[in-house]
Amino acid sequence: MNSIYILLLLGLLAGALSGLVGVGGGIIVVPVLVYFLNYSQQQAQGTTLFMFLLPIGILGVMNYYKAGYVEIKTAFIIGSTFLIGSYFGSKLAISLDQKTVKQIFGVIIILLGIKMVFWK
């Protein structure tokens, strides 16, 4: 039952961060599933991708759209290639061992964090 509360809090936190700064899925949900709920890296990534199948961001998108901050053409272009990339990326992740996938994930987060903190 404790894990239900973690999942509820996780969804709320990830949704709030997604609305606030555009992150949540990979950066918040995946590590919590792995380190607090003992999911494998692949299980956490697959579960997070499934979460995105639902229209979870629609209310946040509506607020940004109303304020004039949504580039629809850009979103469709990225979304269509995201579809293809997620297919091949998931095939690769499934074929690798969990440790390698965790290391790749960690390096990407570190590099993005360094870039965001030290470069304008």
**Residues 83-112 pLDDT 10s:** 898 899 899 999 999 999 999 988 988 998
Number of other CB atoms surrounding residue 91 within 10 Å: 9
pTM passes above 0.75: no
| Calpha distance 2→52 (Å, rounded) | 24
| Calpha distance 26→48 (Å, rounded) | 7
Q: For residues 19 and 63, is the Cβ–Cβ distance under 8 A?
A: yes
Residue 21's pLDDT band, with cuts at 50, 70 and 90, is low
**Residue 83 tokens, joined:** 């579809």
